[in-house]
Amino acid sequence: MTETIDRPTTVAPARPAGLPPHARTVITVLLVAAFVAILNETIISVAIPVLMRELSIDASTGQWLSTAFMLTLAVVIPVTGFLIQRTPTRRLFLLAVSLFSAGTLLAALAPGFVVLLIARIVQGTGTALMFPLLMTTVMALVPEEGRGRMMGNISLVIAVAPALGPVAGGVVLNFLSWRWMFLVVLPIAIVSLLIGVKYMTNVGETKRVRVDVISVPLAALGFGGLVYALNAVGSGGGLAEIGIPGVLGGVALVTFLIRQLVLQRTDRALLDLRPFASRIFSASVVAASVAMVALLGAAILLPIYLQNVLGTSPLVSGLLVLPGGIAMGILGPIVGGLYDRVGPRVLLLPGAAVVTAALGLLAMVGTDTPIWFVLIAHVVLSIGLAFVLTPLFTAGLGAVQPRFASHGSAIFGTVQQVGGAGGTALVVTLLAVGAAARRAEGAGAVEAQAAGLHLAFLVAAAVSVAAIVAAAFVTRPASVGSAQVDGAAAAA
């Protein structure tokens, strides 16, 4: 494929001979920025008790610092497919990192809860733009033969950043004020912004796309309402707190989807759903949503188990899950390289089976389970997820026609948020149900919580079987997409 320039700073997809230096720079800058943004998503999780004391707020109020961030992602990510089509890559990247940096600075200087909450929303807006932009850029710049390895690098970011977040937060809080959680991140974000100013270039061509003013509020109410309701389930919200946003969100979401089906006939959809015409993409999305249930379900359950049942400190519980995140990150590029050679199915089927088996092992934990058993089970789970996530992203997005790539990335990002919220709600609800049932039998608090964790992990293992079924339908995409891109380049 010949390199085409649609404006002085624009680059086009590279040939299999290797990525040119400017393409490597663009992707590296995006990876670093995405790492910082995702790290920030989890770093605050261990700080809620500290913030409750220092800001004089209760637990339900403090939880909004995480909820607002997640809601912002759920609202903004579905719109990114439209934004990536309309806005040059460089401008969108600088906007995303600028928003994230401004939100981080505001959080560090926040005089109270309200300002800190606003800062988290600003941070979330920048983060929401980052991941779909990264995925779309990789699909545009990296030839099909090298996408597996590059998606492995992205999996490293997705795996290691959330695992490091709680540990970094715990270390900072052990020695410094909570404000330093943001002050530590801020210089990295600013450096990413400065590097982006110098090196970031535009990828592909933009086009004038008219925004549908009805679809935007429908998307916000639909995805935002659904994620809010799921999060309310996970935090023990009441019937009204769950039911009202859940019903409103469901109705808005159905209306939004129907409207997109109508608008996409004239290429005016805010989130084009035509990527679902690919069986490979659809199966990848289903399997990815189940994988997120396993990933985030374990992320929420294990600290509860380690701290409330085994009595470890927050820092120790964070350190115990860190090896799994590191193992998953190390395996990402390796699995990506294997994907390029053998395709997805050989990796997905055993990987999904290992995930199910690891969740089954975690369902065996009790009040006297050795810590080493939990550590090994989590590392096994992380290894299984490493063999699942990279092939799913690579095959799923590789099956999407190039003109729908931005929408495919937005769909994957949205599924991650909804799947994560759904997984958290599911496991926390099962934890509460199992614990209540055991308490009714006269068990103590610790024993009851162990019983709830057993139920939650057991059901998560059963749900993960769906990933094995979906993985059977994921094959290596035909190279028709590349041919279409080459044809377009030649025509240009």
Q: 11: which strand partners?
A: 203
Query: Is residue 461 within 8 Å of 320, Cβ to Cβ?
Result: no
Give the pLDDT of residue 489: 33
Residue that has been written with the tokens 């990002």 in this structure: 413
Give the amino acid at 51.
L
Query: Is pLDDT above 90 for 138?
Result: no
8 pLDDT exceeds 60?
no
Of 20-34, 124-138, 390-404, the least confident = 20-34
Least confident of 227-241, 320-334, 381-395: 227-241
Average pLDDT on 335-347 reads: 84
Asked if residue 234 has pLDDT above 80, the reply is no
Q: Please state, rounded to an integer, the average pLDDT across all residues of the chain.
A: 78
The most confident of the ranges 21-30, 86-95, 407-416 is 86-95
Instruction: Give residue 159's pLDDT.
Output: 67
The answer to whether residue 423 scores a pLDDT higher than 70 is yes
Instruction: For residue 134, give both structure tokens.
Output: 């990264």
- Per residue in 141-177, pLDDT (tens digit) is 777 676 677 777 777 776 677 777 777 777 777 788 8
**What pLDDT, in 10s, does the model give residues 52-84?**
778 887 766 776 777 778 778 878 888 887 787
pLDDT at position 484 is 38
With a pLDDT cut of 90, the percent of the chain lying above it is 6
φ, ψ for residue 252 (rounded to 5)? -65, -40
The pLDDT assigned to 184 comes to 84
How do residues 377-406 score in pLDDT, each as one tens digit?
Answer: 989 998 998 888 888 888 888 888 877 777
pLDDT of residue 271 exceeding 60: yes
pLDDT of residue 15: 39
Which residues have a Cβ under 8 Å from the Cβ of 17 and sit 6 or more positions away? Answer: none
- CA-CA distance, 228 to 221, in Å (whole number)? 10
Place of tokens 């606003």: 118
